Amino acid sequence: MLEKNITGVRETVKAWRSEGLSVGLVPTMGYLHEGHKSLIDRAVRENDRVVVSVFVNPMQFGPAEDLETYPRDIEADCRLCRAAGADVVFHPEVSEMYPKNFTSFVDTTGVTEELCGKSRPVHFRGVCTVVSKLFHIVTPDRAYFGQKDAQQLAVIRRMVRDLNINVEVVGCPIIREADGLAKSSRNTYLSAEERQAALVLSRAVNAGKELIARGETDGDAVLQKMKALIEAEPLAKIDYVEMVRRDTMEIHRTVDEPVLVALAVYIGKTRLIDNFIWE
Ligand code: PAF
């Protein structure tokens, strides 16, 4: 099940292909939770074979971010993958993915300018580079990404379209805890008090949705309401709360076409994201 080498994955996929089997890929950074499991479950349903990649990609972390402390537990990840019916866990070393003198990058512009792209300037170049490497290594028919990282999903769709990569990108719904907090590996950073405070993200999402459902089309009014709610939580600090066009990620403050309302909020030192799409 566990494969650390690129050549090993390639040989396995080649053998599957020779039997005419379809292949699904679930790219992850590990420390898998119910959100990842929902992606793996769907990949297992829709493909003959499934590869889950587990790789904490240094290239997508900024210098002051949490690369060193990002939670890791490959044994638990393999157990979850096996139980969910995945066939291979691809878990390369950093040196396997980025050998010495690695100098090639995939950079998707425009769609990366706002939201997380603005607050995390190197992030999407790292994501696009590693995801396109994974696409080349695994050559999947379908690849599965969570809607929680809504901008990432839009960026990957754009990269796949622009570079004619032969893969179907499948977006999957946000999975939440019973109390509404979106599942994230970073939730493990939260103290009990912060975990409670973190509910402000899903509360803001619900407040924004309700306002639009009641007929509000003024984006500024929606964002103001959401921001006021978050600002009332002493442990929360807003990185952004923004409304953008669903596909291009351009700022758009009127609900007259499909929009993404996305937020990033620090709870203590932990940066959490959440969003909803209004269609
Ligand atoms: O969403 C993630 O976990 C990562 O950004 C991804 C897509 C696996 C690339 O490292």
- The pTM for the full model equals 0.97
CATH topology of domain 2-172: Rossmann fold (3.40.50)
* Residue 36 known to be catalytic: yes
172 lines ligand 1 (CB under 6 A): no
Residue closest via CA to ligand 1's atom 9 equals: 127
Q: Is the CB of 27 under 6 A from ligand 1?
A: yes
pLDDT in tens, 220-249: 999 999 999 999 999 999 999 999 999 999
Q: Is 63 left (phi over 0), alpha (psi -120 to 50) or beta?
A: alpha
How far away, in angstroms, is 268 Cα from ligand 1 center? Answer: 23
Can you name the CATH fold of 185-273? Answer: Pantoate--beta-alanine Ligase; Chain: A,domain 2 (3.30.1300)
Give, using CA atoms, the residue closest to atom 3 of ligand 1: 28
Task: Tell me the mean pLDDT per 10 residues along the chain, length 279.
Answer: 98 98 98 98 98 98 96 98 98 98 98 97 97 98 98 98 98 98 97 98 98 98 98 98 97 98 98 98
How confident is the model over 125-151, as pLDDT tens digits? 999 999 999 999 999 999 999 999 999
Q: Where in the chain is the domain with CATH 3.40.50.620?
A: 2-172
Residues of the chain with CATH 3.30.1300.10: 185-273
